Amino acid sequence: MWHVAHRENRGGVVRVFPVVLPSGEKYWTVLDEQLAVVEVADAFLRHVRFGRDQAELTTKAYASSVVLFLRWCGRSARDWRAAAGDLSLFITWLRFAPRELTGTEAPAPGAALVLAGPGAEPVRSPARIASVRAFLCHAVKTGAAPADLLPLLYEVGDVRDLPLEARGSGRPMAYRLKAQHRVNVPRTRRDRAADEEVLALLRACRCARDRFIVVLLARAGLRRGEAAGLRRSDMHFMPDSAALGCAVQGAHVHVVRRLNANGAWAKSVRQRWVPADGLVVRAYDQYVMERLALPHGDLSDFVLVNLFRGRLGEPVSVDAVTELFGRLGDRAGLPRSVTAHMLRHGFASNLADSGATVDEIAELLGHCRLSSSDRYLHPADQRLREAVDRVAAPASLLAGGQ
């Protein structure tokens, strides 16, 4: 149970904080104004990280949402358990409250700020409400909050109001939950990296390792965490890998979720392999030659290691991959920032432009649901025009035009 509710109600001074366990695993938690762990939030975030096997960054996002909720409760003199009935007000606060109200430091006593409401430009997305809802449900399940809190979060209905096709025949009565508070959050499509931008990044590279990173992300579509977590045993670049106990034919890369010393994390629980073309194999060969020529090049089983900066021979961190693309973009003089993830979008879009189906793209990207791949598809302008041109015009229209 959380025993600092009254203290929080005086100002809502809570913050997120990273936790590193003796095993090396990491997650994010919530601290109060005395830097003590907020137990009810910590239990929820540990459940997300280890019970649901979610990534460390996922717990950071959840912790940030819970912190905003607890700050709102404290600064509006609400008990967090009873505040579930006022989530519509919290959604408005999320949308429009400026940093002076939502930041770590509480407003000075007696200070007054006018909160703009609907009609003003939103400050942030209200999508965090889903994380708060999950936090409150977990509190109910663990006994930290009363059970009568759930009807404030969900409408309970049964399948009788569904169409017969959705109910199914011969199925027993079933109940379903529908969230009481729903927000409209448009799904934005991230831009893709154009082929010309990838070439500019490659020309800006000053070592074989950096070229391999760019080629790997652009030609295999790996995430930053997946690339930083690769081991040399994952690189199967022979025509036949039977000697390695692998039945996959041709050059390919295995993406495996494992605990890594550099904090890298494969998002998908399911192990997959991604074909590697000649460009990836050639870039890797050049990188291996560069790496083995250095005295610290063979100290680690990780594929990507520090060669010229940082702790030499140790695995490259995910943040280092991000920083690399920032440096390459500046060096190449690109007019916009091209991130590592934009290369993944470019990979998926190039697959679609080449005729790959959605299920093939989803498998290569490591998506469990086909819908997850939708936002990665950015059809080329010429492909859109060709799609329209392929639609045959009715003969009557053609005759009328003549």
Which of 227, 281, 277 has the alpha carbon at shortest distance from 254? 227
Residue 96, in any domain of the structure: yes
What residue has token string 């912790």?
Answer: 63
Give the lowest-confidence range in 3-17, 37-51, 237-251: 3-17
Residue 23, in any domain of the structure: yes
- Considering the domain architecture, whether residues 235 and 100 belong to the same structural domain is answered as no
Residue 164, in any domain of the structure: no
Give the tens place of pLDDT for each residue, 95-151. 877 776 677 666 655 555 555 555 556 656 667 788 898 999 999 999 998 888 888
- Considering the domain architecture, whether residues 131 and 199 belong to the same structural domain is answered as no
Residue 184 clears pLDDT 70, i.e. is over it? no
- Considering the domain architecture, whether residues 82 and 212 belong to the same structural domain is answered as no
Q: Global pTM?
A: 0.71
Q: Look up residue 45 and give its DSSP letter.
A: H
Residue 125, in any domain of the structure: yes
**Any residues with CB less than 8 A from the CB of 391 and at least 6 apart, and which?**
none
Residue 226, in any domain of the structure: yes
- Considering the domain architecture, whether residues 207 and 85 belong to the same structural domain is answered as no
- Considering the domain architecture, whether residues 141 and 234 belong to the same structural domain is answered as no
- Considering the domain architecture, whether residues 266 and 363 belong to the same structural domain is answered as yes
- Considering the domain architecture, whether residues 126 and 272 belong to the same structural domain is answered as no
269 exposure class (CB count in 10 Å sphere: 0-12, 13-18, 19+): exposed
Residue 257, in any domain of the structure: yes
- Considering the domain architecture, whether residues 101 and 244 belong to the same structural domain is answered as no
Residue 190, in any domain of the structure: no
Name the residue range of residue 142's domain: 5-107+121-154
- Considering the domain architecture, whether residues 247 and 357 belong to the same structural domain is answered as yes
* Structural domains in the chain (count): 2
